[in-house]
Amino acid sequence: MIPDKELYVSIDVEADGPIPGMNSMLSFGSAVFDINGNLWNTFECNLELLPEATSEVKTMEWWKTQPEAWEHCRKDLLSPSVVMNSYYVNMVHLSEQLNKKLVCIGYPITYDFMFLYWYLMKFAGKSPFSFSGIDIKTIAMMMMKRPYTKIGKSSMPKRWFEGAEKHTHTPLEDAKGQGRMFVNMAREFFSGMVF
């Protein structure tokens, strides 16, 4: 059964540390695809820092190696409250307009969803995805029949990356790339192709 009643919301988060609340989400992007690979919506915003949060030293050292991505995520800053409420309305409107359920996806879903869900609940009081998401690497593990810790993008079939944007640590481009990768994998899985 092809899941034609679902929209896949690929998310990518950039932050200044590992934990929402203690650290701030700097920027996030999302790209919404259907199972056929059609891109229905994109969203990207850079956020003001949480006043009560601090930056983690190790993460900030990593950011020093990514000057272009850092510059990208620190311009045109908006308040988290404005961004989260706008994003929630945007996603719900799309879901209702197309009469499809939203499914959050990420690579890794645990990090990105943790930040986005925390911010949505704190500043909007609700999430358009409920509290679940799909991890792309877990799907790869099942399709490749290999241990989770033994696979990475470099060991995955090149065909899964067809049409995917380069990973640049800019949220929207990364969200689009991950979304295209997911669609390629999902279409292959639902076609019944044996790996």
| Whether residue 108 has a cis bond before it, omega within 30° of 0 | yes
For 112-155, the pLDDT digits (tens) are: 999 999 999 999 999 999 888 999 999 999 999 999 999 999 99
For residue range 35-48, list pLDDT tens digits in order.
999 999 999 999 99
CATH superfamily of 6-190: Ribonuclease H-like superfamily/Ribonuclease H (3.30.420.10)
Mean of all residue pLDDT scores within the chain: 94
Instruction: Please count the other Cβ atoms lying within 10 Å of the Cβ belonging to residue 12.
Output: 27
Taking only the tens place, the pLDDT of each residue in 49-88 is: 999 999 999 999 999 999 999 999 999 999 999 999 999 9
Query: Would you state the pLDDT for residue 151?
Result: 92
Structure pTM?
0.93
Per DSSP, the residues of the chain read ---TTEEEEEEEEEESSSSBTTB-EEEEEEEEE-TT--EEEEEEEEEPPPTT----HHHHHHHTT-HHHHHHHTSSEE-HHHHHHHHHHHHHHHHHHHT-EEEEEETTHHHHHHHHHHHHHHHTS--TTTT-EEEHHHHHHHHHTS-GGG--GGGS-GGGGTTPPPP-S-HHHHHHHHHHHHHHHHHHHHTT---
